Amino acid sequence: MHKPYGFGRFVFELCHALGSAPSDIEYIVAVPSRIDVNGLPKLCNITWYRVADANFAWWEQRVIPELAKRLRCGVIHFPYNTRSVFAGSIPTVTTVHDLIFLSETFPLRLRWIKARLASMYVKFGFRFATPRSRTIISISRTTQQLLAHRGIPSEMVYNSIDGFLSLGPSTSRGRPGPPYLLHRGGHLPYRNTGRVIEAFRRARKEFNLVADLKIIGVPDGADRWGRDATIHYLQRISDNELATLYAESACVVSASLQEGFGLPIIEGFGFGTPVIASDLDPMREIAGDAALLVNPYDIEAITRAMVAVLTDPGLAETLVQKGRDRMAVFAGKQVAEKMTNHYAAAFNGI
């Protein structure tokens, strides 16, 4: 909770969707004791249940199943890629976001650990679980296909950002100073931040683009990519600050090499901002025809896309309108309807 990115955001959005739709299902959401539940939103049919902090693996594998048994829960939803092997006879629903931790773009020291944990979870937690005891949800067709390739069937339910959109302005209020592009960055190679920065610098030098670049996720980026008065590496920000950043940006650049979904794409759509996205799945899948798609490995292509969006008002307006239309696919109401159906099916052993 209260995290602009990561699993906390996913859980917040899922709870917002479920708690905004009428339902006969009662949801109990386990919350680490370090979080003040009084600061969490009051949502229909949702109870925030504080549980003592623990190592995440222990929390997921032992604490949650034991809590579910004690509270006599009918279904356990594991939202973090893996399910507990100790769930016993309680039906489970697991959301799988991506398999990036098994790829070559993940740091070797982490990939070694994650790959072995993932293999264990997939082998014992997914594949050998009985159909009644597990339902797997993928957040995109791309993730669904990757799981299918490993012999793991799943149902597909897109993400929603309705809760996030409620935190900030739906359109830009305008701001003084030069326009800026917004990029969700990172040190991991799949974030592609180095190419985005190089493309931006080329746009300024070769095309005289008057703009700044704001990067979320790498506050120490200047140490790696160099200091530049027009590039701002942002410190940790709140959801509200992030919402304002989207609403006031001239363009969102989501040029990742890999994702499970590509959340910045629909965040840009939701806040009425033109989006540049990778012409790779799942980014291409999520964007549809509402973003300017580019080859994320081609710095020149990214450069020209930046220049085009910031210097062609007609193109920018077209992208904004298409983005708003595209958001209907990611409505929280649809997420809630699909997930309640999956919970019911899991409970009934369908």
Instruction: Look at residue 132 in the predicted model and tell me its pLDDT.
Output: 45
**Statement: residue 315 has pLDDT above 70:** yes
**pLDDT score of 115:** 53
344 and 323 in one domain?
no
pLDDT at 202 over 70: yes
The two tokens of residue 305 are 């896309």
Residues of the domain holding 229 = 166-330
* Per-residue pLDDT at 129: 46
**Strand pairing partners for 180?**
212
Provide the domain count of the chain.
Answer: 2
1 in any annotated domain: no
- Residues 152 and 182 both lie in one domain: no
Distances (CA, A) of 133 to 188, 207, 298, 343, 349: 35, 58, 45, 11, 8
Q: Are residues 223 and 335 in the same domain?
A: no
Is residue 41's pLDDT more than 50?
yes
Peptide bond preceding 282 in cis form (omega within 30 of 0): yes
The pLDDT value recorded for residue 166 is 87
pLDDT at 269: 97
Residue at 288 is within a domain: yes
Nearest to 180 by CA among 233, 129, 226, 140: 233
Residues 46-104 have pLDDT tens digits of: 999 999 988 888 898 899 999 999 999 999 999 988 888 888 889 999 999 988 766 65
Q: Is 90 exceeded by the pLDDT of residue 305? A: yes
For residue 254, give both structure tokens: 């989501």
Asked, for residue 2, whether it belongs to a domain, the answer is no
DSSP 125: I
Mean pLDDT (the chain) is 88
Say if 205 falls within a structural domain.
Answer: yes
What are residue 50's phi and psi, to 5 degrees? Answer: -75, 135
CATH classification of the domain holding 81:
3.40.50.2000
Say what the pLDDT of residue 83 is.
85
Do residues 243 and 286 both lie within one domain? Answer: yes
Predicted local confidence at residue 235, as pLDDT: 85
Q: Are residues 149 and 239 in the same domain?
A: no
The answer on pLDDT for 232 being more than 80 is yes
- Is 90 exceeded by the pLDDT of residue 109? no
Instruction: With respect to residue 60, please indicate whether it lies within any of the assigned structural domains.
Output: yes
What pLDDT is stored for residue 275 in this prediction?
98
pLDDT of residue 123: 47
Same domain, 23 and 48: yes
Task: Inform me whether the pLDDT recorded for 234 exceeds 80.
Answer: yes
Structure tokens that stand for 86 in this block: 């100790």
* Shared domain check, 339 and 306: no
> Is 50 exceeded by the pLDDT of residue 130?
no
The pLDDT tens digits for 1-32 are 445 567 888 999 999 999 998 888 999 999 99
CB 302 within 8 A of CB 253: yes
Across 257-269, average pLDDT: 95
> Looking at the structure, do residues 140 and 217 belong to the same domain, yes or no?
no
**Percentage of the chain modeled with pLDDT above 90:** 64
* Judgement on whether residues 53 and 194 belong to the same structural domain of the protein: no
State residue 133's pLDDT score.
52
Say how many C-beta atoms besides its own lie within 10 A of residue 44's C-beta.
11
pTM score, whole prediction: 0.89
